């Protein structure tokens, strides 16, 4: 038992120490196939069904680079204001691990495809921080291990592990920041804002699903502290398993308070990998390595160099979407939002999704009303950001279009959205599967109206007598009889017609 | 000339995942030393300004279209596995953390 | 020609002769295949050229060719129906592939190498898998985990390596064709010491997909045969662009068959031949040098213009090669880890890491472990620049030597190996002595160009075969075929027939000989 406090009060931390951050984000590209073979990348497939000799590392197999993945890498690099290397190679990173079929990762080492860039990151109060980008390079993902026999599926205490190589070879782009210095007490917020902004950018580029919950966006947070007023970097730790934007902020904050307590107690920070625990919101040390890793990088002889021509890069530059910051400026004008309104939308993480919904055909008002009300409630219930909901702008736009076409009522539209959120497929599939189409067939509706009028003769008489507001009761009865699938406006018209 | 010690050979064996015997440590230390001193003559070549060659044939930009190709079935994938369970490769408990 | 009636006579024919007879309907592919299977059961107990004989698969493939010909179809290729021995380093769907290693004992690949697929599509009959040094590491085939192959010329001697099985199967008349791989000489050196023909095509000329990697930037599959024309015919079957191999050259196969036929006319006027001055002198067996000099005179006699050419950096090729190949191998062989396929030992509660180490220790032989250790060393931090990095620079210098030489001459020639076949066991405990067998062959692998070894004669001291190496620029493979075929025709005419027909190759038991005995 230690008498020393495990963490230091945050105000004291930032009074005494200056944090330095480094963020490494791995993005899984949403290409149809893997980085070096033609296997599908569909998330959630049955284990070891999206594998071939190459991604299983079978003897004799060889890699061939996915051209679409290289284009995505270059577009990401350009969007991050990076230089694109005119000539670069893949390298082998050699280390043994059962989730890696070849026991080397095909990655890039000293010749990344994109380097020396930056991204402006807006904070909640409107301040902007420019984050330097050191590099963005291409590599491949590993397989997934399932640890059996231990507690909570953790690796420690497991009797054995089971490996699924469907994910092995999925294209990854690793984006590494330069050290982020001088942000002081705002370090946790900056970390979160950076990952959020990066996610929005990647989504706008349409290169990745950027789903932190599914691991298509993963963040490792490097944190070190140095006494305020000094310039030399302290020893850093690298925290992994940070699976949500909220966790990015919490992990950085926790690490700052932990490291400060160690340093204040005269201890030393160990350079190590730490694991973020979602439950306790703390980090814990990974297994210490007995010997320093020596990855023995060398140029991958099975792949030839990549030499993007200036022409190719220029063509890819033209495909870049509007930058998020520019998009916001434009949208504020077009939607005539006050600064406060825009800030609200920004804080709700709603600007990009609304804009994308508008892009997909909805009006700004329609898009806004769905995202800030019903969808915001759903996100809130699930504890995720709007953009993390398993429904996308294109699907929301489709639902809006169905409402406008009279094929869905608002109530039915909500049910369709529920279906999409529940993973039942595209809106049209949910409509068909749940039988949610509006009953717009007049003869069916007329029969229902007649039945309701017959059931409530007194109300029918009132309507006939000119008390139009009494029609509400009949509308209600018809809606009930049609299980809400009737178009209420049309029902009212029919009632008035029958009673005239 | 670097002389390769027994300890260094043991370190290399760990990196290469070879559970070498004590006897092999001695044999390899001796043989590697001979080989390394012989091949060290590459350092006698003045090559400061010479670019290294990693690939024999100067090709660049060899890409594949992003089109799904049929791979192996789960049965084919697992057919030669030393052990399998639930459609997955079964391996002994893993000590180290993922990298 | 008289029609050979007995099975043994069929095995003496060249691939071209067999194909002609099969395609003309004079003899069935099945009978040709059966003749070779008979020969294998007769002599392979002594020679041990094969690790696996696929009797049923071979006969099925032969019958399929016969059925197509009987139905009036054109032969699928110039070699349809001709049997072949495939080095056990190429994957074969449903047929064991071991690379001569315990670690892959029992592995049945679920896919065909591109070379395997092309052979099948061409109707070539794959008899089985040829023995080799484990993972192609060696120059004697003594490093096979399944026992050495014997040289048919003298069962107490090595057949060369790593493709000793491929070469011995030809010299022992078990197969008229074989496919090998050449990383530092593994096709040419066995060809030289068995009196057969071996070709290392231009790097990228033959797909490496399904060729179990030893040293990726050097490995190249290629044809082995008893005549230059047969090698050319096989080259055209297995060569060509493969989208599954990123280092495959997207161009037509050089016109090697036409060149071999042209060369057989025996006219080399206008062809400039360079003799590499560095490949002579100390360490070269006198009989090898005299056979080489006689060969050069023969070329001159055919009208070639012969000049001496110095390639000063070739002397650094061997050390560079012995840094690059172990480095790449240490990485390529990391996948053999007991997790997904192959051998697994030492479970019983051990961790994955322990099982990996125990399996690799038990499954790899001494030479493989030695190279993994050497490669791990050469790539490790602190040593990379001095070893691997420097070797890659030497590679540039060797390529420049070739480029400069090919400004002056069309082809370069040298002995293929410094010595003839050495006795089994002689060099197993002396890695450097073993490595020197590759002295003349490795520059070509480093630079990625092409070379052929053609029998030049028998060495005066020991009566064993000597090989003439002809080297050509990248993607100009046809040049060496022309020169090789011209030399072969002249030599055969002068000596009254093909050298390999003189191979004693007497079946019989040999005393088992332990390594180093
Ligand atoms: Mg990485
Ligand atoms: Zn695959």
**Does B66 reach chain A within 8 Å, measured CB to CB?**
yes
Average pLDDT over residues A16-29: 98
Per-residue confidence (pLDDT) for residue A290, from 0 to 100: 52
Q: Do the beta carbons of residue C417 and residue C441 sit within 8 Å?
A: yes
In a domain, B88, yes or no: no
Residue B34 lies in a domain: yes
**A296 closest CB neighbour out of C209, C212, C376:** C376
Residue A31: pLDDT band with limits 50, 70, 90? very high
- CB contact A158 to C (< 8 Å): no
Alpha-carbon gap: A297 to the closest alpha carbon of chain B (Å) = 13
* pLDDT for position B97: 63
- Choose the catalytic residue: C28, C140, C166, C186: C186
Q: Could you tell me the two tokens for C98? A: 């071991």
CA C371, chain centre distance (Å):
20
CB-based contact A51:A141 (threshold 8 Å): no
CA B5 to chain A, closest CA, distance in angstroms equals 17
Inter-chain touch C356–A92, beta carbons under 8 Å: no
Q: What is the pLDDT of residue C516?
A: 35
How remote is the CA of residue C108 from the centroid of ligand 2, in Å? 18
The predicted structure's pLDDT at residue B99: 52
Report the 10 Å Cβ neighbour count for A177. Answer: 23
Q: For chain B, how many structural domains are there in total?
A: 1
* B97: in domain: no
pLDDT at C423: 97
Residue B14 lies in a domain: yes
Task: List, for residues C17-38, the tens digit of each pLDDT value.
Answer: 999 999 999 999 999 999 999 9
Tokens read off for A235: 């020893």
Is C508 a residue whose pLDDT tops 50?
A: no
Tell me which of C182, C249, C319 to substitute to probe the interface with B (most B C-beta atoms closer than 10 Å). C319
**In chain C, whose CA is at the least distance from the CA of A65?**
C246
Query: Nearest C-alpha of chain C: how many angstroms from A61?
Result: 5
Chain mean pLDDT for chain B: 91
Interface test with A, best of B60, B69, B79, B98 (most A CBs within 10 A): B98
Ligand 1 midpoint to CA A174 (Å): 6
What structural domains does chain A harbor?
10-311 (no CATH), 322-434 (no CATH), 442-498 (1.10.10)
Alpha helices in A116-270 (DSSP H): 187-205, 245-264
Question: Ligand 2: distance of its center to the CA of A26 in Å?
Answer: 20
C162 is catalytic: yes
**Percent of chain B at pLDDT exceeding 90:** 77
B98, pLDDT greater than 60: no
Task: For residue A500, name the pLDDT band (cuts at 50, 70, 90).
Answer: confident
User: According to the model, what pLDDT value does residue A289 have?
Assistant: 58
CA of C90 to the centre of ligand 2 (A): 19
Confidence at residue A291, expressed as pLDDT on a 0 to 100 scale: 58
Could you tell me which residue, A402 or A69, shows the higher pLDDT? Answer: A69
**Chain C contact present for B7, CB below 8 A:** no
CA of A38 to the centre of ligand 2 (A): 6
- For the record, the structure tokens of A338 come out as 């006050």
Lowest mean pLDDT among A410-414, C190-194, C327-331: A410-414
Give the residue from chain C lying closest to A102, CA to CA. Answer: C335
- Alpha carbon distance A168, A39 (integer Å): 10
Alpha carbon distance C201, C451 (integer Å): 7
- CA–CA gap between residue A363 and residue A361 (Å, rounded): 7
Q: Which CATH number goes with the domain that contains B40?
A: 1.10.20
Residues 197-236 of A with CB under 8 A from C: none
- Ligand 2 mean position, distance from CA C453 (Å): 38
Which C residues, 413 through 432, put their C-beta within 8 Å of a C-beta on chain B? 431-432
Residue B13 located in a structural domain: yes
| pLDDT (tens digit per residue) in C121-146 | 999 999 999 999 999 999 999 999 99
Is C414 marked active-site? no
DSSP track, C306-374? EEEE--GGGGGHHHHHHHHHHHHHHHHGGG-SSSSSS-----TT--HHHHHHHHHHHHS-HHHHHHHHH
Cα-trace Rg, chain A: 28
Q: Give pLDDT, residue A484.
A: 75
- Give residues with Cβ within 8 angstroms of C475, minimum separation 6: C202, C205, C249, C251, C254, C450
- pLDDT greater than 70 at residue C364: yes
C353 contact B CB<8A = yes
Residue B38 to residue C392, Cβ atoms within 8 A: no
pLDDT band at C506 (very low <50, low <70, confident <90, very high): low
pLDDT at residue A419 in the model: 93
Using alpha carbons, select from C394, C257, C252 the residue that is nearest to residue C323: C394
Among A26-40, A431-445, B7-21, C263-277, whose mean pLDDT is lowest? A431-445
Interface contact flag, B63 A273, Cβ < 8 Å: no
Would you say C225 and C177 are in contact if contact means Cβ atoms under 8 Å apart?
yes
A273 DSSP β-pair partners? A238
The answer to whether B5 contacts chain C (CB < 8 Å) is no
Nearest residue of chain B to residue A147 (CA atoms): B93
Tell me what pLDDT residue B2 has: 52
Most confident of A403-412, C167-176, C502-511: C167-176
The more confident residue out of A408 and A84 is: A84
Contact yes or no for C374 and B32 at CB 8 A: yes
Contacts of A298 in chain C (CB under 8 A): 327-328, 331, 379, 384, 388
> Which domains, ranges and CATH numbers included, belong to chain C?
8-315+395-502 (3.90.1300.10)
Asked if B57 reaches chain C (Cβ–Cβ under 8 Å), the answer is yes
Query: Do the Cβ atoms of B91 and C352 come within 8 Å?
Result: yes
CA of A61 to the centre of ligand 2 (A): 10
Lowest mean pLDDT among A80-84, A450-454, A486-490, B15-19: A486-490
Give the mean pLDDT of chain A. 91
The model's confidence at residue C507, banded by pLDDT at 50, 70 and 90, is low
Residue A205 has pLDDT above 60, yes or no: yes
Q: What is the pTM of this model?
A: 0.89
> Domain residues for B17?
6-45
- Weakest mean pLDDT among A190-199, A304-313, A488-497, C425-434: A488-497
pLDDT for C2 equals: 46
More confident residue, A223 or C8: A223
The answer to whether residue C77 is catalytic is: no
| B58 lies within 8 A of chain C by CB | no
* pLDDT category of residue C514 using cuts at 50, 70 and 90: very low
C1: pLDDT strictly greater than 50:
no
pLDDT value for A446: 85
* Chain C positions with Cβ closer than 8 Å to A: 90-91, 97, 99, 104, 107, 109-111, 113, 208-213, 215-217, 243-247, 327-328, 330-331, 334-337, 339-341, 352-353, 356, 376, 379-381, 384, 388
Which of C77, C87, C101, C207 is catalytic? The answer is C87
- Tens of pLDDT, residue by residue over A402-439, are 999 888 888 889 999 999 999 898 898 898 888 887 77
Name the residue of chain B whose CA is nearest to C220's CA: B56
Chains that touch C (3 or more CB pairs under 8 A): A, B
Mean pLDDT for chain C? 95
């Amino acid at each position: 038992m230690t008498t020393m406090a495990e963490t230091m009060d945050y105000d004291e931390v930032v009074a005494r120490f200056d944090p330095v951050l480094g963020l490494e984000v791995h993005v899984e590209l949403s290409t149809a196939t893997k980085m070096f073979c033609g296997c599908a990348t569909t998330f959630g497939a049955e284990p070891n069904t999206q594998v071939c000799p190459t991604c299983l590392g079978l003897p004799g197999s060889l890699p061939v680079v996915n051209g679409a993945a290289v284009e995505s890498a270059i577009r990401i690099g350009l969007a991050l204001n990076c230089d694109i290397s005119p000539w670069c190679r893949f390298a082998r990173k050699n280390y043994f691990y059962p989730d890696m079929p070849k026991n080397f990762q095909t990655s890039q080492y000293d010749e990344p495809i994109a380097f020396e860039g930056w991204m402006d990151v807006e904070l909640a109060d409107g301040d902007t921080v420019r984050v330097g980008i050191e590099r963005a390079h291409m590599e491949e993902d590993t397989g997934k291990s399932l640890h059996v026999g231990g507690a909570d599926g953790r690796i420690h205490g497991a009797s054995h592990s089971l490996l699924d190589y469907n994910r092995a070879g999925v294209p990854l782009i690793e984006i590494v920041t330069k050290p982020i210095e001088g942000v002081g007490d705002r370090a946790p917020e900056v970390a979160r804002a950076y990952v959020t902004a990066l996610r929005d950018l990647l989504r706008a580029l349409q290169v990745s699903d950027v789903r932190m919950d599914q691991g298509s966006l993963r963040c490792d947070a490097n944190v070190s502290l140095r006494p305020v007023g000094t310039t030399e970097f302290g020893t850093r730790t690298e925290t992994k398993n940070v699976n949500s934007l909220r966790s990015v902020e919490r992990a950085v904050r926790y690490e700052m308070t932990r490291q400060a307590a160690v340093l204040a107690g005269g201890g030393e920070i160990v350079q190590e990998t730490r694991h973020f625990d979602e439950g306790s919101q703390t980090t814990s040390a990974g297994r210490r390595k007995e010997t320093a890793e020596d990855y023995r990088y060398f140029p991958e002889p099975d792949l030839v160099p990549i030499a993007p021509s200036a022409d190719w890069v220029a063509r890819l530059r033209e495909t870049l979407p509007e930058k998020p910051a520019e998009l916001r400026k434009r949208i504020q004008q077009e939607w005539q939002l006050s600064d406060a309104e825009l800030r609200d939308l920004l804080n709700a993480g709603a600007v990009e999704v609304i804009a994308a919904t508008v892009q997909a055909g909805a009006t700004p008002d329609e898009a806004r009303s769905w995202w800030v009300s019903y969808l915001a409630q759903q996100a809130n219930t699930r504890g995720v950001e709007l953009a993390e909901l398993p429904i996308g702008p294109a699907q929301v736009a489709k639902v809006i279009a169905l409402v406008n076409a009279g094929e869905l009522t608002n109530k039915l539209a909500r049910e369709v959205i529920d279906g999409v959120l529940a993973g039942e497929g595209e809106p049209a599939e949910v409509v068909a599967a749940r039988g949610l189409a509006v009953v717009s067939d007049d003869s069916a509706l007329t029969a229902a109206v007649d039945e309701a009028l017959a059931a409530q003769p007194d109300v029918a008489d009132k309507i006939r007598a000119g008390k139009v507001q009494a029609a509400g009761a009949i509308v209600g009865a018809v809606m009930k009889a049609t299980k809400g699938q009737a178009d209420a406006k049309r029902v009212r018209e029919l009632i008035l017609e029958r009673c005239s | 000339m670097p002389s390769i010690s027994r300890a260094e050979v043991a370190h290399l064996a760990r990196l290469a995942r070879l559970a070498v015997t004590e006897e092999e440590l001695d044999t390899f230390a001796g043989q590697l030393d001979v080989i390394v001193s012989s091949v060290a003559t590459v350092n006698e070549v003045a090559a400061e300004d010479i670019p290294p060659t990693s690939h024999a044939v100067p090709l660049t930009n060899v890409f594949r279209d992003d089109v799904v190709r049929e791979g192996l079935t789960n049965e084919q994938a697992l057919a030669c596995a030393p052990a399998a369970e639930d459609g997955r490769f079964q391996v002994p408990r893993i000590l180290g953390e993922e990298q | 020609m008289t029609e050979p009636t007995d099975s043994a006579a069929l095995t003496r024919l060249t691939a071209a002769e067999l194909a002609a007879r099969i395609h003309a309907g004079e003899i069935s592919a099945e009978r040709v295949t059966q003749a070779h299977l008979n020969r294998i059961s007769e002599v392979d107990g002594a020679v041990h050229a094969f690790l696996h004989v696929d009797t049923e698969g071979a006969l099925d493939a032969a019958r399929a060719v016969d059925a197509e010909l009987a139905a009036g179809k054109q032969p699928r290729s110039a070699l349809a129906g001709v049997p072949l021995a495939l080095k056990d380093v190429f994957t074969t769907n449903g047929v064991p592939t071991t690379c001569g290693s315990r670690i892959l004992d029992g592995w049945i690949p679920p896919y065909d190498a591109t070379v395997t697929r092309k052979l099948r599509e061409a109707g070539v009959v794959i008899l089985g898998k040829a023995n080799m040094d484990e993972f192609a590491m060696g120059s004697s085939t003594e490093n096979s985990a399944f026992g050495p192959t014997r040289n048919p010329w003298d069962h107490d001697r090595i057949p060369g390596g790593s493709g000793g099985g491929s070469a011995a199967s030809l010299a022992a008349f078990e197969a008229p064709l074989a496919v090998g791989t050449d990383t530092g000489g593994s096709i040419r050196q066995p060809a030289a010491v068995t009196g057969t023909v071996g070709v290392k095509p231009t790097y990228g000329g033959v797909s490496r997909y399904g060729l179990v990697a030893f040293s990726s930037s050097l490995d190249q599959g290629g044809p082995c045969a008893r005549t230059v024309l047969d090698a050319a015919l096989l080259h055209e079957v297995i060569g060509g662009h493969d989208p599954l191999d990123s280092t495959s050259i997207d161009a037509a196969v050089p016109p090697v068959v036409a060149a071999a036929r042209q060369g057989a006319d025996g006219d080399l006027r206008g062809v400039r031949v360079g003799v590499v001055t560095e490949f002579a002198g100390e360490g070269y067996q006198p009989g090898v040098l005299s056979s080489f000099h006689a060969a050069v005179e023969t070329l001159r006699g055919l009208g070639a213009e012969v000049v001496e050419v110095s390639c000063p950096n070739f002397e650094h090729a061997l050390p560079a090669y012995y840094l690059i190949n172990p480095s790449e191998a240490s990485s390529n062989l990391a996948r053999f880890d007991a997790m997904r396929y192959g051998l697994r030992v030492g479970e019983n509660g051990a961790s994955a890491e322990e099982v990996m180490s125990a399996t690799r220790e038990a499954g790899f032989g001494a030479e493989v472990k030695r190279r993994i250790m050497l490669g791990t060393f050469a790539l490790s931090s602190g040593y990379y620049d001095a070893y691997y990095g420097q070797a890659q620079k030497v590679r540039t210098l060797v390529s420049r030597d070739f480029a400069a030489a090919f400004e002056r001459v069309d082809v370069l020639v040298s002995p293929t190996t410094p010595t003839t076949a050495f006795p089994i066991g002689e060099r197993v405990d002396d890695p450097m002595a073993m490595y020197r067998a590759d002295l003349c062959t490795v520059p070509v692998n480093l630079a990625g160009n092409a070379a052929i070894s053609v029998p030049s004669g028998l060495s005066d001291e020991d009566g064993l075969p000597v090989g003439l190496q002809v080297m050509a620029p990248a993607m100009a493979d046809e040049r060496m075929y022309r020169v090789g075929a011209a030399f072969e025709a002249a030599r055969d005419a002068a000596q009254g027939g093909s050298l390999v027909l003189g191979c004693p190759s007497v079946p019989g038991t040999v005393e088992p000989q332990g390594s180093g005995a």
